[in-house]
């Protein structure tokens, strides 16, 4: 809590330095503001216990602090702190431990169990083998070949490029830069533009669609859109979702069907698969077009969930 005043100059300096460190790493403004405030509350707790040096913090100390948090009142509404808010306090301490280790300190003892929220939606992640099955299913996902080639191209940009639905909808043919092995995303979140790399396989998928399948759609020359409908108009988001359902059904894989796959599931899946391949978080952040590392950090937690299943 920000209004809690610290006495120790040492703790004050640590809070300020921690805030600056989070800002430099590129975390969201809300994180840069809130986590140091949570750390300040932890330091205030330590001062009340006459612990004036971080070297004296033990695992018992952090457990006592967490018990205090679980019992203290919520200042904004009646009742205790929510599980989500308790997890934010945990995040503040764990990031502070990381901060200390990055500044040549051994860190502090933190052995706290993440609070699970029963109402929290679990993200269903496809395995890499299931992704392969979906690509294979585009060979028979529709009776017409040019529809099937479009289905495969949709998977290539949504999964392999990690695009959001709206980003894929607004792609134009000219945004596929074959010579540079990139896709230009002009309609990113918050109107941010970015280039997304593509490998040879996915470039061939798009090449087959653009030059072999797209001309079979009615009035294809009248639209600049990469993905067009049967009538030659820009394919909308609902149509993307419907084609994904058709691909899922074509796999005839009950496990994939049970996961209730959405377009965003494919984006979550590629991010998790990149982490499994030990791609740096900063690179995944740029690939997905996230404005801050905080948005990308969710996949580290997601990866642990997937590996523990």
Q: Which of 268, 273, 285, 290 is catalytic?
A: 290
Residues 286 and 196: beta-carbon distance below 8 Å? no
Q: Which of 180, 264, 301, 304 is catalytic?
A: 264
Indicate whether 168 pLDDT > 50: yes
Q: Which of 88, 189, 194, 245 is catalytic?
A: 189
Report in angstroms the alpha-carbon separations of 248 from 112, 154, 163, 260: 39, 13, 19, 9
Q: Which residues, in sequence order, are CB contacts of 276 under 8 Å at separation 6+?
A: 303
Q: What is the pLDDT of residue 70?
A: 85
Q: Which residue has the tokens 């979140």?
A: 189
Q: Is 170 a catalytic residue?
A: no
| Distance (Å, whole) CA 79 – CA 56 | 32
Q: Is 214 a catalytic residue?
A: no
Q: What is the pTM of this model?
A: 0.62
**Residue ranges per structural domain of the chain:** 9-102, 128-308
Q: Strand pairing partners for 195?
A: 184
Q: Which of 38, 170, 214, 267 is catalytic?
A: 267
Q: What is the pLDDT of residue 180?
A: 95
Share of the chain above pLDDT 90, in %: 50
The helix or strand, by DSSP H or E, that contains position 184, with its residue range, turns out to be: strand 182-185
Q: What is the pLDDT of residue 119?
A: 38
Average pLDDT for 142-151:
97
Q: Is 164 a catalytic residue?
A: yes
Q: Mean pLDDT across the chain, nearest whole number?
A: 86
Q: Is 264 a catalytic residue?
A: yes
CATH of domain 128-308: 1.10.443.10
Q: What is the pLDDT of residue 76?
A: 57
Q: Using one digit for the tens of pLDDT, what is the confidence trace for 82-111?
A: 777 888 888 899 899 888 988 888 878 777
Q: What is the pLDDT of residue 120?
A: 40
Q: Using one digit for the tens of pLDDT, what is the confidence trace for 235-261?
A: 998 999 999 999 999 999 999 998 888
Residues 92 and 232: beta-carbon distance below 8 Å? no
Ramachandran quadrant class, 125 (left: phi over 0; alpha: psi -120 to 50; beta: rest): beta
Say whether 285 sits in a helix, a strand or coil.
helix
Q: Which of 38, 164, 268, 273 is catalytic?
A: 164
Q: What is the pLDDT of residue 213?
A: 97
């Amino acid at each position: 809590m920000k209004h809690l005043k610290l006495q120790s100059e040492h703790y004050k300096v640590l809070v300020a330095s921690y805030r600056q460190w989070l800002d430099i790493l590129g975390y969201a403004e809300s994180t840069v503001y809130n986590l140091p405030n949570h750390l300040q509350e932890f330091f205030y707790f330590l001062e009340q216990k006459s612990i004036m040096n971080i070297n004296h913090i033990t695992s018992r100390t952090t457990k006592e602090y967490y018990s205090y948090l679980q019992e203290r009142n919520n200042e904004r509404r009646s009742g205790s702190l929510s599980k989500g808010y308790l997890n934010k306090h945990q995040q503040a301490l764990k990031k502070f431990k990381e901060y200390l280790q990055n500044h040549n300190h051994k860190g502090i003892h933190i052995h706290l169990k993440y609070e699970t929220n029963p109402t929290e939606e679990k993200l269903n992640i496809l395995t890499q083998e299931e992704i392969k099955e979906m690509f294979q299913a585009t060979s028979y996902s529709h009776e017409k070949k040019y529809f099937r080639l479009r289905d495969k191209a949709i998977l290539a940009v949504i999964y392999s490029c990690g695009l959001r639905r709206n980003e894929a909808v607004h792609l134009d043919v000219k945004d596929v830069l074959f010579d540079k092995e990139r896709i230009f995303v002009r309609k990113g979140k918050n109107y941010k533009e970015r280039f997304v790399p593509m490998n040879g396989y996915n470039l061939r998928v798009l090449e087959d669609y653009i030059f072999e399948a797209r001309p079979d759609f009615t009035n294809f020359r009248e639209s600049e859109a990469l993905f067009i409908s049967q009538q030659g108009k820009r394919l909308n988001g609902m149509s993307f979702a419907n084609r994904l359902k058709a691909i899922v059904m074509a796999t005839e894989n009950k496990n994939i069907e049970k996961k209730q796959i959405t377009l965003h599931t494919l984006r979550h899946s590629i991010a998790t698969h990149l982490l499994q391949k030990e791609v740096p978080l900063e690179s995944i952040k740029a690939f997905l077009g996230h404005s801050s590392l905080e948005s990308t950090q969710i996949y580290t937690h997601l990866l642990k969930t997937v590996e523990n299943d």
